[in-house]
Amino acid sequence: MRSQVLGFRVRAQQLDRESGDHADTAVLDIGVQDTGPDGAMWALAIRGVDVSGLPDIELVRLWTIRGAPHLYRRTDLPSVAAAVEPFSDADAGKRIYDATKPLKAAGISNLAALDAVAATMRSVVTEPMVKGEVSTRVTALMDPPYLRFCRPCNVTHLYEMPFRLAALRAGLELEAGTSPPVLRPVADFERASTTPDRYDVVRAYLRMLGPATPKHVADYLDAPVKDVKARWPSDVVEVLVDGEPRWVLAADEAVLAAGPVRTTRLLGPFDLFLQARDRPLLVDDPVRAKALWPVLGRPGAVLLGGEIAGMWRPRKSGKGLRVNIELWTKASPAFETAIREQAERLADHRQVPLSGVDFAG
């Protein structure tokens, strides 16, 4: 069953696809995390999208799931804004972490707090503005329950998660290619009143990272399990994965039965395939899992023949790029050739020559 689950996810996420268009790229429905140099655009590239010819205006970057930057189709923005809203006040509290304590003491609900921060951000950001300046100006306008003393910065400013999660409520997007991020108003922003099934985050998780349990989805969203269960789809079927009951959308049951996919890709450190909350299913060795998902400095993962078979890291080599590959098992010459082809693809994506591929392990 494990190989069927992995094959299902490879197909659902179109990692076996050689060419496609952003309009029909499934992962953009749930959002493609855009963290690091091999972030969202690389995730699209390994799913067959020609990102070199993709106008930036077609895409929008937003702080959404877990407060991380994610890429979406711009035309989907109203539906996305509705889909990523907290399910309840308790959900909002879980998503903003320790910011809830002073708010509760002051008698301010979590959703009301997000609305208050959003309103202030909307009044401040009327043109592109770097994050630090936005934070400084918004901090000066907010009451003490919204603020904290930050030891690393040695200043008082807004709690980070309410700041990030309020940005989309304020109709703000992140400018492409900016670090530190630049926020700017979305033209004619309007949130949809309902969420179409295609963008519903619970259904999207099941569609691309299923079969799953409510806890898997809740952990992915940083939401309470109770709220996820309340929104659990009725059109699901139960399957057993290593003896554990899980669920998949009924429409996708046939895809699950299709079996493994023999495809090879260099997955970016935050690729959706690696965001599944059942990590032991992907990598059952705790030592290897710890190396693949460290707290800081994540490597990429080698998807070899449909399995996570090792890690990779890019290394600058003069004007070129070297790719260090650490495989957990001996690869056949054919697989090594496939990995080299993917390293060439990465170098082309970065628009630098490939200096070499170094295998270890």
58 falls within a domain: yes
> Region 125-142: what's the mean pLDDT?
97
In this structure, are 288 and 180 located in the same domain? no
Of 142, 157, 185, the one marking the end of a domain is: 185
Cβ atoms of residues 215 and 225 within 8 Å: yes
In this structure, are 63 and 155 located in the same domain? yes
In this structure, are 151 and 56 located in the same domain? yes
Cis peptide before 211 (omega within 30 of 0): yes
Can you give the pLDDT at residue 318? 85
From first CA to last CA, the distance across the chain in angstroms is 28
Among candidate residues 48, 42, 28, the one with its CA nearest the CA of residue 270: 42
28 falls within a domain: yes
Can you give the pLDDT at residue 360? 85
353 falls within a domain: yes
> Region 180-207: what's the mean pLDDT?
96
Can you give the pLDDT at residue 96? 97
355 falls within a domain: yes
Can you give the pLDDT at residue 262? 87
Q: Is the pTM of this model over 0.75?
A: yes
3-state SS of 306-333 is CEEEEEEEEEEECCEEEEEEEECCCCCH
**What's the rounded Cα separation, in Å, for the pair 84 and 304?**
32
Of 136, 155, 185, the one marking the end of a domain is: 185
In this structure, are 176 and 304 located in the same domain? no
Can you give the pLDDT at residue 361? 64
Total tally of structural domains belonging to the chain: 2
Can you give the pLDDT at residue 148? 94
Can you give the pLDDT at residue 127? 97
In this structure, are 177 and 270 located in the same domain? no
User: For residue 174, is pLDDT > 90?
Assistant: yes
Quote the percentage of the chain above a pLDDT of 90.
Answer: 89
240 falls within a domain: no
5-22 burial: b if 16+ Cβ within 10 Å, else e:
bbbbbbbbbbbebeeeeb
Range of the domain at 82: 20-185
In this structure, are 277 and 156 located in the same domain? no
Q: Which two tokens stand for residue 120?
A: 């202030």
231 falls within a domain: no
248 Cα distance to chain centroid: 20
Helices and strands (H, E) in the chain, number of each type = 16, 15
13 falls within a domain: no
Of 137, 166, 185, the one marking the end of a domain is: 185
